[in-house]
Amino acid sequence: MTNEFTREARYAVLKSADVMQCLTVSELIELQRIQAKVEEHRAEIGKPPLDCVVVESDWPEYAPTWRAIEARVTGAEQPTSHAFDDSATIAGLESAVSHLSACLDEFRALLVEVNDVCGRDGHGGPLEEGESEIIDKVRAALSMRTEARPQEPKEICK
């Protein structure tokens, strides 16, 4: 099957945020009335409600999505499940991995410091100079990651 592919404007799409910003109340009511009428018509003729995905042209998934649709329509080889592997997506993933790696390195270093504080006598003991700052760092890290209240230093050391 080799069909020629032509992009068509088959759907009218209005972004909700734009609609809410620019339409008057009476225009919103009219738009909702029109939408309801179209939905009722689809139901009357036995069509299911539309369930669509919209990909804006400035999103990195836009071009790969069009390529996947074109491949399906023309019968060309289907893209793999990694259809969204364009350079912008890869760069975003690499950036996220780099950030997470840096976070892990910080947490590992912090755990070493906490282990040193907690491991002196197995029970915590009195804090030496600078060690309360380490505990404050642990509290801050825990409060960013969980809604639970940070533990007291002696509880961290148990």
pLDDT of 84 higher than 60:
no
Domain that holds residue 137: 87-156
pLDDT tens-digit readout, 141-158: 666 554 444 444 444 444
Confidence of residue 92 (pLDDT cuts 50, 70, 90): confident
Dig out the tokens for 156 from the structure. Answer: 């961290």
Dig out the tokens for 2 from the structure. Answer: 């080799």
Across the range 16-22, mean pLDDT stands at: 92
**Residues 62 and 104 both lie in one domain:** no
- Stronger pLDDT, 135 or 124, i.e. the higher one: 135
Instruction: Please report whether residue 8 resides in a domain.
Output: no
* Number of folded domains that form the chain: 2
pLDDT of 26 higher than 60:
yes
pLDDT of 95 higher than 70:
yes
**Residues 101 and 41 both lie in one domain:** no
Residue 136 has what pLDDT? 74
pLDDT of 73 higher than 80:
yes
Dig out the tokens for 53 from the structure. Answer: 């995905």
**Residues 59 and 99 both lie in one domain:** no
DSSP 5: P
Confidence of residue 75 (pLDDT cuts 50, 70, 90): confident
**CA distance readout (Å), 137 to 34, 99, 108, 112:** 57, 19, 13, 13
Instruction: Please report whether residue 35 resides in a domain.
Output: yes
**What mean pLDDT, rounded, does the chain reach?**
77
Task: Quote the pTM value.
Answer: 0.45
CB contact at 8 A, 77 and 94: no
**Boundary of a domain, candidates 34, 52, 74:** 74
Residue 71, number of CB atoms within 10 A of its CB: 15
Residue 12 has what pLDDT? 92
Confidence of residue 106 (pLDDT cuts 50, 70, 90): confident
pLDDT of 43 higher than 70:
yes
